[in-house]
Amino acid sequence: MEVIQKNKKSEGKNFAAVTQSKNNSLDVCEVCGSVRHTVFQNFLSIVPLEMIKSCQRNTPFHSTRKGFYSMILITKGRATETIGYKTYTFEGGTLYFIPENTLHKIQYWSPDIEGYHCSFDSEYFFIVPEKPD
């Protein structure tokens, strides 16, 4: 599985190839041993749901509020999640959004879940790319 991380300053490289820079760091998740990334601003990240699910086997998900937006595409399987104070069930072929700073908890993901989790902050879309010299 591949984690795709784009940052205006990383020039669209695959995140695994960006080992250190001002806004990025590459680390290993202590929960599941997979690659974990930390981005402070101006980011767009796409992670397969299967990779996130592998972490969930070892530790339950807790309610959180994240300082970024999420867009989730489920291509196979089923998920039950609480977004804000309402619980939803999503099936394959569903695309849904979670606004930044919204209370969110994954209640259940089926063992066969597949798809993508895209995270981004608003700053990513408002930065004007630097012109090459």
String of DSSP letters for 78-124: EEEEEETTEEEEEETTEEEEE-TT--EEEEEE-TT-EEEEEEE-THH
Model confidence band, residue 7 (pLDDT cutoffs 50, 70, 90): low
CATH class of 4-126: mainly beta
Count other Cβ atoms within 10 Å, centred on residue 60: 9
Nearest to 79 by CA among 115, 110, 54: 110
* pLDDT tens-digit series, residues 87-111: 999 999 999 999 989 999 989 999 9
CA-CA distance, 74 to 84, in Å (whole number)?
A: 20
The SS3 assignment for 55 reads helix
> Could you tell me the residue ranges of all domains in the chain?
4-126
- Confidence at residue 18, expressed as pLDDT on a 0 to 100 scale: 32
* pLDDT tens-digit series, residues 41-100: 677 889 999 988 887 665 567 787 788 889 999 999 999 999 999 999 999 999 999 998
